[in-house]
């Protein structure tokens, strides 16, 4: 019966003992030629290089987007802070009048509100620019007028500050308007 099965498979065109190379597969134990090995190594090195470049590009993209998000969040409130700077300026102008008042509770209450406004803005990154007595810097200051310097050491320096300048997270959001000694 075994013989009948062998004969049957040969008659159908099936040869169980046929060489694997004829069917399109290779023996895994066959030796790889030197040129094939070099080609495979070159392809592997090229794939590794592509992978490393892609990983570096993705890392750069991640850093860039994180930095952009941080910058956006730092300046997102810029318009609101600029609007509140006008209120802060009014508070600074009102303070001498409040200090002259004789009502201690009124002075204390208004000072508390103004100080809370200042501290809230500082917590958001607002910093006052120190201009009075400093050298005039057109990148920081806007000269409104020049006056004769009261002394020689004030020539080219800021004599008076009309409107304070401010930084928001170390970026200038408003230039100081100043009077310069000449």
145: phi then psi, degrees, rounded to nearest 5: -155, 165
Which pLDDT score, from 0 to 100, does residue 116 have? Answer: 94
What angle do helix axes 78-100 and 104-123 make, rounded to 10 degrees?
Answer: 160
Pairing, β 141-147 against β 176-181: parallel
State how beta strands 166-168 and 171-174 pair.
antiparallel
Phi and psi, residue 103, nearest 5°: -80, 105
Instruction: For the domain covering 127-182, report its CATH number.
Output: 2.30.22.10
pLDDT at 31: 64
> What DSSP string runs through 10-73?
HHTT--TT--GGGGT---TTSPPPHHHHHHHHHHHHHHHHHHHHHHHHHHHHHHHHHHHHHHHH
The pair phi, psi for residue 160, each rounded to 5°, is: -145, 155
Reduced to 3 states, what is the DSSP secondary structure of residue 147? Answer: strand
CA dist., res. 26 & res. 20, Å (int) = 6
- The token duo for 105 is 């509770």
How far apart CA 119 and CA 76 sit, in angstroms, is 19
pTM here is: 0.58
Taking the C-alpha atoms of residue 168 and residue 134, their distance in angstroms, rounded to an integer, is 20
Contacts of 177 (CB under 8 A, 6+ apart): 141, 142, 144, 161, 162, 163, 165
List the domain boundaries for the chain. 32-76, 77-124, 127-182
Distance CA 129, CA 172 (A): 9
Q: What is the pLDDT along the chain (182 residues), one digit of tens a residue?
A: 455 554 444 455 555 555 555 555 555 555 668 889 899 999 999 999 999 999 999 999 999 999 998 888 777 778 888 889 999 999 988 989 888 888 889 889 998 999 999 999 999 889 999 988 888 999 999 999 999 988 888 888 899 999 999 998 888 999 999 999 98
């Amino acid at each position: 019966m075994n013989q009948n099965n062998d004969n049957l498979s040969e008659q159908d065109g099936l040869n169980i003992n046929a060489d694997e190379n004829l069917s399109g597969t290779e023996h895994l134990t066959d030796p790889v030629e030197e040129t094939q090995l070099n080609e495979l190594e070159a392809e592997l090195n090229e794939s590794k290089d592509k992978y490393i470049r892609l990983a570096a590009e993705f890392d750069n993209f991640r850093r860039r987007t994180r930095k952009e998000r941080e910058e956006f969040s730092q300046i997102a409130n810029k318009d609101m802070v600029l609007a509140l700077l006008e209120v802060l300026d009014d508070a600074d102008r009102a303070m001498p009048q409040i200090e002259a008042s004789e009502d201690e509770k009124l002075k204390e209450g208004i000072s508390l509100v103004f100080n809370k406004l200042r501290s809230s803005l500082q917590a958001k990154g607002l910093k006052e620019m120190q201009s009075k007595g400093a050298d005039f810097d057109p990148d920081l200051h806007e000269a409104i007028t020049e006056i004769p310097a009261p002394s020689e050491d004030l020539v080219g320096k800021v004599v008076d500050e009309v409107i304070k300048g401010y930084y928001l997270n170390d970026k200038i959001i408003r230039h100081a308007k100043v009077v310069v000694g000449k």
